[in-house]
Amino acid sequence: MRNTGLGGWPARRAMMTPERTAFVFEDRSVTYAEAHDRTARLAAQLRASGVGAGDRVAYLGRNHPAFVETMFAAHLLGAIFVPLNFRLAAPEVAYMLDHSGAETLIYAPECAGVVHALPDGPRRRVALGEGQYESWLAQGDPTPIDTPVDLADPALILYTSGTTGRPKGATLTHGNLVWNCFNLLLGVDVTSDETTLISAPLFHVAALNQTLLPTFLKGGRSVIMPSWEVDACYDLIDKYGVTWMFGVTTMFAAFARSPRWAGADLSSLRHLMAGGASVPAALIRTYQERGLVFCQGYGLTETAPGATFLEADQSVRKVGSAGVPVFFSNVRVVRPDGTDAAAGEPGEVLIQGPNVTPGYWRDPEATRAAFSDGWFHSGDLAVLDEDGHLYVVDRVKDMFISGGENVYPAEVEAAIFEHPAVAEVAVLGAPDAKWGEVGRAFLVLRPGAHVTAGALRDFLRPRLAAYKIPAHVEVVDDLPKTGSGKIHKPRLRGLPLPADALRPGPGGGHGSGG
């Protein structure tokens, strides 16, 4: 087989374990043989529509087996898969489609409104609903396709919000994904009889690369949830005997708050893996008291994503740590001058290894800025203890994480500044019991202008995903500035939330539409 990338995985798995279940979705099971057949047919249809090596194929929708089929089919042809966040507004999706140059878009029914609102974009659009996808796939030729693909070839373009207000497309090669799987499998004892719950969005690097792909590689079974829902999670664990699940802090906190927590049979769970943000020590202990142990890690989209990992047997002794460097990667914590920080001294996290992105799609300037001497600059602050365990303490950049979603204030500020009443704006993250952090916006209005928090959120809804819309909006007379005239955000962070900002209206944070 000339395809050494992910496109060859369905055929290889079908040869080894054809009758074993690959995916479960809404009570329907798909074997590895069926997954291979469906992927081959879809690849034939994509090829017939003009998709070839190096072309971009986008997917917009909630978790669904079609996500995986589209990805593997694109990789069979040597094409590049572009998974998109289904929570985004039409202008945001339009930018990513245009920037990536995607000619084909497969989308779910719930995203039809966004797709129909796109000004232009991919000439081939295939809807998952009303049988269009299934009939299109069924017409495909099942004859195996073997396009030469090298591990150095691009596999994914994953968009991560940019600090300048425009998303950047992190390019991950087939090799990046394979080496990340190796690192994961060395840190977690994944078995061929694994039943993995895919509950986080697959367009996120962790759900895809830290759970689904390693499970597929081992020949396990992935139970795919369309979206996260606490009761459905309990039901699926009980029904299928889930052994492994990944989640962000907000998901695990909600799971533990459920009235079903105390009485549910969770004995099948072997691995609980957390990422996206630091897990509070109190939450870790809540799970430990239930006999459940977290495997934590640290990483970024650009590192595919695993950079460090805390194995289960260290989870009690090193509570709150993100672990040590994964097996095939190197991690440093450095001072501003580039020298290594001492144990306990905060510094920026640098990462090097075969799992690290070669750069950003069509953005050589951002690529150059992200690397020095072969090391990727994370923009995150951390400390190493005497044993080499990493503790993430802050972020160099202003990005905050709300419910597992990265939010970059510059992008939100750019959207708010479009409002005619706004003269100046600063956005930062504020602590939130449910989402971890939510947006807090400080506005300086133009003379004589007026805007309410509700009206501003209404203005932002068609421009931003709901989770990016600030939960707290405060009008101030002026914003603190540095000597160079820049807004001094550290002073804003020290301000307590006013009483009226503690009760965000509908649509704030992760409100309706999120």
**Domain assignment of residue 236, yes or no:** no
pLDDT at 423 over 70: yes
Which whole-number Å values give the CA distances from 152 to 204, 295, 309, 351, 360, in the listed order?
21, 30, 25, 19, 15
For residues 211 and 251, the answer to whether their CB atoms sit within 8 Å is no
Among 150, 170, 186, the domain-final residue is: 150
**Domain assignment of residue 37, yes or no:** yes
DSSP codes, 350-412: EEESTTS-SEETT-HHHHHHHEETTEEEEEEEEEE-TT--EEEEEESSS-EEETTEEE-HHHH
**Domain assignment of residue 79, yes or no:** yes
Listed ranges 362-366, 443-447, 482-486, 499-503; the one with the highest mean pLDDT: 362-366
Mean pLDDT of the chain: 91
pLDDT recorded at residue 499: 67
Residue identified by tokens 């081939």 is 124
Name the percent of the chain in helix, strand, coil, to the closest 5: 30, 25, 40
pLDDT recorded at residue 509: 58
pLDDT digits (tens, 9 = 90+) for 369-384: 999 999 999 988 889 9
pLDDT digits (tens, 9 = 90+) for 194-203: 999 999 999 9
**Domain assignment of residue 474, yes or no:** yes
Which whole-number Å values give the CA distances from 98 to 80, 101, 243, 362, in the listed order?
14, 5, 40, 11
- Residue-level length of the chain: 514
Among 150, 174, 207, the domain-final residue is: 150
**Domain assignment of residue 6, yes or no:** yes
Straight-line distance from the first to the last Cα atom of the chain, in angstroms, rounded to the nearest whole number: 43
Among 96, 126, 150, the domain-final residue is: 150
pLDDT at 401 over 50: yes
pLDDT at 192 over 90: yes
Q: Strand pairing partners for 289?
A: none
**Domain assignment of residue 32, yes or no:** yes
- For residue 53, give the CATH number of its domain: 3.40.50.12780
Query: Using omega within 30 degrees of 0 as the cis cutoff, is the peptide bond preceding 305 cis?
Result: yes
Q: How many domains does the chain have?
A: 2
For residues 4 and 149, the answer to whether their CB atoms sit within 8 Å is yes
**Domain assignment of residue 490, yes or no:** yes
Give 132-164 as a 3 state SS string. HHHHHHHCCCCCCCCCCECCCCEEEEEEECCCC
For residues 324 and 389, the answer to whether their CB atoms sit within 8 Å is yes
pLDDT at 508 over 80: no
Q: Domain of 118?
A: 1-150
For residues 84 and 104, the answer to whether their CB atoms sit within 8 Å is no
**Domain assignment of residue 72, yes or no:** yes
Backbone angles phi, psi at 235, to 5 degrees: -60, -45
Q: Residue 115 and residue 121: Cα distance in Å, rounded?
A: 9
Tell me which of 454 and 164 has the higher pLDDT. 454
pLDDT recorded at residue 514: 35
Q: What is the DSSP letter of 494?
A: T
- For residue 473, give the CATH number of its domain: 3.30.300.30
pLDDT digits (tens, 9 = 90+) for 52-97: 999 999 999 999 999 999 999 999 999 999 999 998 999 999 999 9
What's the CA angle centered on 415, arms 412 and 421, to 5 degrees?
Answer: 120
State whether residue 43 is helix, strand or coil.
helix
